Chains A and B, each alone.
Chain A
Amino acid sequence: MRIPCPHCGERDVNEFRYGGDATKQRPAHGDKDFQTWNAYVFEFDNPKGPHEEFWQHTLGCRQWFRLKRNTATNQILGGGQ
């Protein structure tokens, strides 16, 4: 798999670190509902198909960015931004 870094261009996946689901919204500061925090911290949509996620170019420019990828095929659907 090759990943388009917004700064360095397309590089091999082993230069990058996966950073998880990028669609999660952090609950409001001071939110006391356990279910809300449980959903944010532990639960994942984990779709088989299009997924928006964070990556970091750890062995390059070290920039964090968002990527759209199909988890069923590893096809890149949208470039890093």
Chain B
Amino acid sequence: MPKSYSIFSILRHALRPSEPWPEAWAKPAPKSNYDVIIIGGGGHGLATAYYLAKNHGITNVAVLEKSYIGSGNVGRNTTIIRSNYMLGANTAFFEKSLQLWEGLSHDLDFNCMVSHRGQIVVAVSPGQMDSFARRGNLMRLNGIDAELLDRKELEKELPYLDYSKHARFPIWGGIHQRRAGTVRHDAVAWGYARAASALGVHIIEDCEVTGMVMDGNKVTGVETNRGRILAGKVGIAVAGHSSHVARMAGLRLPVESHILQAFVTEPVKPMVHHVVSWGAELFYLSQSDKGGMVFGGHIDGFNTYTQRGQFFKIRDVMECAVSLMPFMSRLRLLRHWGGIMDMTPDGSPFICKTPVDGLYLNGGWCYQGFKATPASGLTFAHTIANDAPHDLNAAFALDRLMKGRELDEHGIGNWTYKQ
């Protein structure tokens, strides 16, 4: 494994006879015993393992991935990072995440292609402008950048929107977070895997957890398709399969698994220079470095573990795209795909201890898992290492719903996706 990537390592490699680059992370066989096992080798699981090793000195860690690294939701999202939240716990957490994104490529010695191209949410009514002003003020009070744009300012930034009087949702302005942007999502998985592996973490691919090894109310290990592996502590970071894995330990979660689809068009010349979201419907779009428009919308609306989306939702999202950006009608759709996510009653995640000793949960990410990756790993590692939450994730507890401490960011009550 190369010690570090630099201009010299590229030159050295260019001068050698043609051969593949060395593997970025080691592929060890599983040991029979670890201090910590993280189930799920996605962004959150790998980040957790990395911060366990780096911040807490716990290096006897295994990350168990049922498929290959990058096969799950870390490679299925629309790559957006931002921190324009309103509720206290969310604001601090997602701002910490954005700050970690800012230095991530240097921290991991891996170019994650973090692009602070900014995110603009388009407002479609005077009332929405008022609510965006309130959101922007709350962000600024927390030291986060936010700018309210009137219609003229917006027209300079996004000249290609439908500003006509006949638009179904007339445009009034928008809110701009300049530090928001996109990150190359595969590089996040590869970068965390490589950095964790360099610190001694075992990354074990093609290793599916099939059961928990329990001693009374304590988890002492996991059963896998590659045999039994024992551990002092077990963390779950499996995106849409949280309920499935938690049930192996007898737990029932406040979660339903839903499919969210994403789309990419044929590549065109640079045109959309921001992440653009819409106030009229859940719709978000950015242009990738290859030139394709990458965008998504709502979930399909019923629980499923299949990664195949329904056609009616494809049509819904295309209608959003064309309504906001008429030029989209002339682009051809290249690919679409689905990812399975935990939807929670209040739309906020869980990073917490569970009622089972030695078992920790990182799940319930709804629409917002990717942007949370660094802070999620940081706080989940802290929770596992200290058996107590970090200040930033104390509010993301499993019993918050029963205690009436919901984090209902959208302010529309229970099961936001059913509204």
CB within 8 Å of B: which residues of A? 1, 12-14, 17-18, 20, 34-35, 37-39, 41-48, 51, 53, 71-74
Does B257 contact A35, Cβ atoms closer than 8 Å?
no
In the complex, besides A42-B254, A44-B253, 19 extra interface pairs with C-beta distance below 8 angstroms are A18-B301, A18-B302, A20-B256, A34-B402, A37-B402, A42-B402, A43-B254, A44-B254, A46-B244, A46-B253, A46-B256, A46-B257, A47-B243, A47-B244, A48-B243, A53-B302, A71-B305, A71-B306, A74-B306
Task: Give the complex CA separation of A17 and B417 in angstroms.
Answer: 12
Task: Give the complex CA separation of A74 and B308 in angstroms.
Answer: 9
**Distance in Å: Cβ of B108 to nearest Cβ of chain A:** 33
B80-136 at interface with A (beta carbon < 8 Å): none
Produce 1/0 per residue, B255-292, CB < 8 A to A: 11100000000000000000000000000000000000
**Distance in Å: Cβ of B212 to nearest Cβ of chain A:** 16
Taking CB atoms, residues of chain B closer than 8 Å to A51 are 303
Taking CB atoms, residues of chain B closer than 8 Å to A71 are 257, 303-306
Q: List 19 A-B contacts (CB under 8 A).
A: A13-B312, A14-B310, A17-B301, A18-B303, A37-B402, A41-B345, A42-B401, A43-B253, A43-B254, A44-B243, A44-B253, A46-B243, A46-B257, A46-B303, A48-B241, A48-B244, A48-B305, A72-B306, A74-B306
B252 within 8 A of A: yes
Q: Binding site of A, secondary structure by majority: helix, strand, loop or mixed?
A: mixed
**Distance in Å: Cβ of B245 to nearest Cβ of chain A:** 10
Task: Give the complex CA separation of A41 and B252 in angstroms.
Answer: 12
Taking CB atoms, residues of chain A closer than 8 Å to B255 are 44, 46
Contacts A71-B304, A71-B305 known; A43 to B252 CB distance under 8 Å?
Answer: yes
Q: For residue B300, which residue of chain A has the nearest CB?
A: A13
B205-255 at interface with A (beta carbon < 8 Å): 241, 243-244, 247, 252-255
Does B310 contact A38, Cβ atoms closer than 8 Å?
no
Does B252 contact A14, Cβ atoms closer than 8 Å?
no
**Distance in Å: Cβ of A13 to nearest Cβ of chain B:** 6
Does A73 contact B252, Cβ atoms closer than 8 Å?
no
CB within 8 Å of A: which residues of B? 241, 243-244, 247, 252-257, 301-306, 308, 310-312, 345, 401-402, 414, 418
Taking CB atoms, residues of chain A closer than 8 Å to B304 are 71, 74
**Distance in Å: Cβ of B248 to nearest Cβ of chain A:** 12
Closest CB pairs A-B (n = 7): A14-B312, A18-B302, A46-B243, A42-B254, A38-B402, A43-B252, A42-B401
Task: Give the complex CA separation of A14 and B345 in angstroms.
Answer: 23
Taking CB atoms, residues of chain A closer than 8 Å to B402 are 34-35, 37-38, 42
Does A44 contact B306, Cβ atoms closer than 8 Å?
no
Does B305 contact A42, Cβ atoms closer than 8 Å?
no
**Distance in Å: Cβ of B294 to nearest Cβ of chain A:** 24
Q: For residue A1, which residue of chain B has the nearest CB?
A: B310
**Distance in Å: Cβ of A4 to nearest Cβ of chain B:** 15
Does A38 contact B401, Cβ atoms closer than 8 Å?
yes
Task: Give the complex CA separation of A17 and B301 in angstroms.
Answer: 8
Taking CB atoms, residues of chain B closer than 8 Å to A44 are 243, 252-256
Task: Give the complex CA separation of A44 and B240 in angstroms.
Answer: 13
Taking CB atoms, residues of chain A closer than 8 Å to B254 are 42-44
Taking CB atoms, residues of chain A closer than 8 Å to B247 are 45, 47
**Distance in Å: Cβ of B239 to nearest Cβ of chain A:** 13
Contacts A34-B402, A38-B402, A44-B255 known; A72 to B305 CB distance under 8 Å?
Answer: yes
Q: Which of A17, A44, A72 has the most CB of B within 10 A?
A: A44
Q: For residue A49, which residue of chain B has the nearest CB?
A: B305
Q: For residue A39, which residue of chain B has the nearest CB?
A: B252
Task: Give the complex CA separation of A20 and B402 in angstroms.
Answer: 20
Taking CB atoms, residues of chain B closer than 8 Å to A38 are 401-402
Task: Give the complex CA separation of A18 and B257 in angstroms.
Answer: 13
Task: Give the complex CA separation of A48 and B243 in angstroms.
Answer: 9
Task: Give the complex CA separation of A74 and B310 in angstroms.
Answer: 11
